[in-house]
A and B are shown apart, each in its own frame.
Chain A
Amino acid sequence: MSIQASNIHVTLSGQLILNDINAEFPPGQLIGLIGPNGAGKSTLLRVLAGLQMIQKGHVSINGERLQELQRIDLAKKMTYLAQSTECHWPMSVERVVMLGRHPHVNSQQIGDVDMEAVKQAIKDVDIEHLIGRSVNELSGGERARVMLARALATGSDILLADEPIVSLDPRHQIEVMALLRNQANRGKTVIVVLHELHLAMRYCQHLMLLDNGRKVAEGLTEDVLTESNLKRIYGVNALFGNHQGVPWVLPWSNEKEESI
């Protein structure tokens, strides 16, 4: 399923947060939404998820406008993974993951399909050893993975994730990015907001660069993560390289080239 944003304008507390954003996100791709702090990335993600009020423009999935879809049907097609991993009640890990099945289960009994989806999600995210533990006892990183499992358990075709790896250790950062890329390879549309440019370079196929509410660059990863874009938009000098044919990038210093 593809998701499309047209002429999006969003104003919050008098500030123009998103200014005329147009984008199309095709299926089977892992797309990174990048940009400096305050660029409007999270807001755009929420707009796509149908959680943010838009002053102008609309979002469609496969041509169908979001407003025309029932919340429950939308939930089956698209999953949103928030940045905050809060859970207000000390539920067990597996119960939290099962909540991801809500669009399918709703008022019925939990079925075999649901159990399977939950099992698979838990396995994919590597949290089997956490089953039975209370989710609020876990570390930030562990909890983030539980929430990711919850998102995967829904099994929808579009996954929107807001900084899903920010609290994870390096190994799990890599594993989660690989997992998301894998989901994209299976045909899903996966859109991720992230700051970890080196991982964006490594795993994302497409990138969209935002700055001050505007889209400033869009396209293949290598075409967006250029030295000039990084300097101009992020204000960083980066090192570029190539390992076994795979390009990498490493933000190195800021504009002023301050030495340590």
Chain B
Amino acid sequence: MKQQIELRVNGQVYEIETEPWRTLLEVLRDRLNLTGTKVSCAEGHCGACTVNIDGEAVNSCLTLAIEAQGKEVLTIEGLSEGGDLHPIQETFVTHGAVQCGFCTPGLIMASKAFLEHNPAPSDEKIKKVLAGHLCRCTGYVQIIEAVKAAAELMGAR
């Protein structure tokens, strides 16, 4: 029994038909072809599926698509503006924070929500805020460095 819903994603409006039990993650990937947000554990333990809803970082695998109605959803695809990388995307590239890249979109979206309200975060704060994100490749250090560098860049701009 599908439902007609309207979603605002990355500033665009989408009208789709979906079963009410579909998660936002499934709808973003399978219906809107926004595959930047990843499926990994699909139960909120790895952070790979993180998007922003009304500026807050949430696991899209734990959010029903219908619950995102009337809200602003921002995914990794919506972060760069007109081909220019967002500072967080830039510093992830320049600081070695990307290896296999699978955890990257989720981490960047979490960092975005965080840095908007935390312009000068400490290492400890960064670790705590991002603790819901697993990365098997980097060992986290270069990610923390990238986030701090992004904070500085964002402050400077």
Q: Is chain B a partner of chain A in the same complex? A: no
Seen from chain B, the residues whose Cβ lies within 8 Å of a Cβ on chain A are: none
